[in-house]
Structure 1
């Protein structure tokens, strides 16, 4: 079950469920994990997200 609230609040695309589970294992809330996993439904969407993340890391001077 994605969310105890159910309905549209508990929805995650089937193709993105593995991404949702991975985020949950990292300790993310159900809502936040669902938002992120649903955002990257298609390959172009994930590419956009990856580029934005790279820009963010570069701007913050990645400490990894």
Structure 2
């Protein structure tokens, strides 16, 4: 289990653990889920990720439902 201990136990901020669990339920690897959940630690970082995702979807021609 990934914890906030770090090292071989892995690392996910405690405040972001619910996000980590949700990503794992979607089938993501531990590494990838930790990477994403830790990246969005602050509101600014999360909105930045959302803007980037929107841009990516737009470039790939996907519509928002």
For Structure 1 versus Structure 2, the TM-score category normalised by the shorter chain is 0.7 to 0.9
Higher relative contact order (CA 8 A, sep 6+): 1
Structure 2 alignment gaps of length 5 or more: none
Matches within 5 A, 1:27-46: 27-46=27-46
TM-score (norm 2): 0.86
Unaligned 5+ runs, structure 1: none
Count residues in correspondence.
62
**TM-score (normalised: structure 1):** 0.87
Give the deviation of 1:7 after TM superposition.
Answer: 1.1
Which structure carries more helix by proportion?
1
Over the residues paired in the alignment, what is the CA RMSD in angstroms?
1.9
**Runs of 4 or more consecutive aligned structure 1 residues displaced over 3 Å after TM superposition:** none
Q: Distance in 2 between matches of 1:52 and 1:62?
A: 14
